Amino acid sequence: MNIKDTANHYGFISRLNHWLGALIVIGMLAVGLYFNDMPRGDEKSYWLKLHIGVGGLFFVFLWFRVFWRVFTQSPQAFEQKKTLKRLTQIVHWVLLLSVLIMALSGPFLIWSRGAPINVFDWFSIPSPMGKMPDFHELMEEVHAIVAKVLLVSIIIHTLAVIKHRFIDKDQLLSRMVKFLRK
């Protein structure tokens, strides 16, 4: 089993990062968009607590996921038309940057309120800073705006994978899913 990426396939760490990361990001996005417009109350508090608990457990993993992709060797770009190669590259970098921004702005919007990140009342991660109301507002805005950028790029990314699988019928998905390899 390849731990690291090869010229044509993603290795174990990248695949784990990708699929665990995708699960967390899609879940966080769904929960965030769901509670966002709710009036204050028990139901909103329940979903917000879940969002913060999962976020507190995984934000360092999300930093690592992006760090690994940026600082280790990845497979060559998938063979396709030059414009599509370029577009794929742009969407992947927008996804990575958006994940990093979400995983930074989330914790910092809590910490800049002077509050700790409470992970399901098991433990909490104390704030490394005092109250910073302006920075808190900036982080809140960044978190809300980048969530929309992330949503649009995930839709484009998923549609592209579906096109490769069912229209082009090529091997792109197998680069990220080991059991599909021939």
Q: How far is the CB of 176 from ligand HEM (least distance, A)?
A: 4
Q: What letter does residue 118 receive in the DSSP assignment?
A: E
> Does the protein bind ligand HEM through residue 139 (CB under 6 A)?
no
Q: Is 80 in the site for ligand HEM (CB under 6 A)?
A: no
Does 161 participate in binding ligand HEM (rule CB under 6 A)?
yes
Q: Six-digit token pair at 166? A: 């069912």
107 binds ligand HEM (CB under 6 A): yes
Confirm if 29 and 154 have CB atoms less than 8 A apart. Answer: yes
Q: Which stretch binds ligand HEM (CB under 6 A): 38-46, 79-87, 100-108, 127-135?
A: 100-108
Name the segment binding ligand HEM (CB under 6 A); options: 38-46, 79-87, 127-135, 170-178.
170-178
Gap between the Cα atoms of 138 and 7, Å rounded: 41
Considering only residues 2, 4, 12, 36, which one is a binding residue for ligand HEM as defined by CB under 6 A? 36
Nearest to 84 by CA among 168, 174, 175, 177: 168
DSSP state of 122: T
Q: Are 4 and 73 in contact (CB under 8 A)?
A: yes
**CA 128 vs CA 131, 133, 136: distances in Å:** 10, 15, 14
Among 28, 111, 112, 127, binds ligand HEM (CB under 6 A): 28
Instruction: For 77, list phi and psi in degrees, rounded to 5.
Output: -60, 145
The Cα–Cα gap between 15 and 173 comes to 11
**Half-sphere exposure in the Cβ direction for 72 (13 Å, CA):** 17
Q: Which one-letter amino acid corresponds to residue 178?
A: K
Least distance in angstroms from the C-beta of 131 to ligand HEM: 15
Smaller CB separation from ligand HEM, 1 or 159:
159
* Number of amino acids touching ligand HEM (CB under 6 A): 42
* 136 lies in the binding site for ligand HEM (CB under 6 A): no
User: What are the residues binding ligand HEM (CB under 6 A)?
Assistant: 14, 18, 22, 25-26, 28-29, 32-33, 36, 51-52, 55-56, 59, 69, 78, 88, 92, 95-96, 99, 102-103, 106-107, 109-110, 117, 140, 143-144, 147, 150, 154, 157-158, 161, 172-173, 175-176
